[in-house]
Amino acid sequence: MTRQFFVGGNFKLNPTSREAKRELVNILNKATLNPQTEVVIAPPALYLIPVLELLRKDIKVAAQNSHTKNSGAFTGEISPVQLVDAGIPYVILGHSERRTLFGETSVIVAQKTRAALDAGLRVILCVGETLAEREAGSTQKVVEEQLRAVVTLLSPGDWSRIVIAYEPVWAIGTGKVATAAQAQEVHADTRKYLTSAVSPEVAESTRIIYGGSVTAANSKELATQPDVDGFLVGGASLKPEFVDIINATAV
């Protein structure tokens, strides 16, 4: 089975003006992109709808977070059904910044994932270890614990709407990218985990993408790894080089 290459751009809390947002969209609108690659960008919530309206239709839009509930007294939250109603097909959940800065546990991430799928969204589910956890030899244990919470709330059929993003925390925004071998090892082990925890079919078909200091310069080598099915790009998604990352698999 061939898994479609997937490149996500996570703008995080950037940019800070409507004009700058329009420029980022224009770069993508003008670019020649590999049509074999699925491309999704995740602007801040306030820009989701304008980006959806301005952006070429072969690029999809993702929210960076959504709540466990669809409506009610939850000040400041965005609900999965609201995203679907606005025409947003994807949401990023479990990003390490949400886990560490906003106290989201694996259980909360799993509940958000369940709610997002129930509303009809697709989920980019982020997992990854800290430097201390890697140095302690616990990388796979940590990644599996983060995934296990989700596995228990999903049925096999749900996995066609999940993309797993392996993002080692030590590589996010640090310029310290995982080597191609390091990424491949975790991706392969994660696929092995999915084989036993869910099914061989789900393990084979689920895309596992890498995130953490991906640039145009390092993306080509990472993309050659058999279990690296794409990227979730932070900083470089705000620069013209994002186009080269999208085209990393082009020959």
Ligand X SMILES: O=C[C@H](O)COP(=O)(O)O
Give the binding site for ligand X (CB under 6 A): 10, 95, 167, 172-173, 211-214, 232-236
Beta strands at 59-63 and 230-233: parallel, antiparallel or unpaired: unpaired
Q: Looking at this protein, which amino acid is placed at residue 70? A: N
H or E stretch covering 245:
helix 242-246
- Which CB, 65 or 225, lies closer to ligand X? 65
- Which CB, 127 or 198, lies closer to ligand X? 127
- Cα–Cα distances (Å) from 176 to 168, 212, 250, in that order, read 10, 8, 24
> Nearest approach, Cβ of 169 to ligand X (angstroms)?
9
> Nearest approach, Cβ of 201 to ligand X (angstroms)?
27
At residue 176, the 3 state secondary structure works out as: coil
At residue 218, the 3 state secondary structure works out as: helix
Whether cis (ω within 30° of 0) applies to the bond prior to 15 is: yes
Q: Which residues are catalytic?
A: 95, 167
Confirm if 14 and 44 have CB atoms less than 8 A apart: yes
d(CA 159, CA 179): 27
At residue 169, the 3 state secondary structure works out as: helix
> Nearest approach, Cβ of 168 to ligand X (angstroms)?
10
> Nearest approach, Cβ of 211 to ligand X (angstroms)?
4
DSSP state of 120: T
- Which CB, 43 or 211, lies closer to ligand X? 211
- Which CB, 60 or 192, lies closer to ligand X? 60
- By beta carbon distance, the residue nearest ligand X is 234
H or E stretch covering 179:
none
SS3 content of the chain, % helix, strand, coil (to 5): 45, 15, 40
Confirm if 211 and 231 have CB atoms less than 8 A apart: yes
- Which CB, 80 or 211, lies closer to ligand X? 211
Beta strands at 122-127 and 162-166: parallel, antiparallel or unpaired: parallel
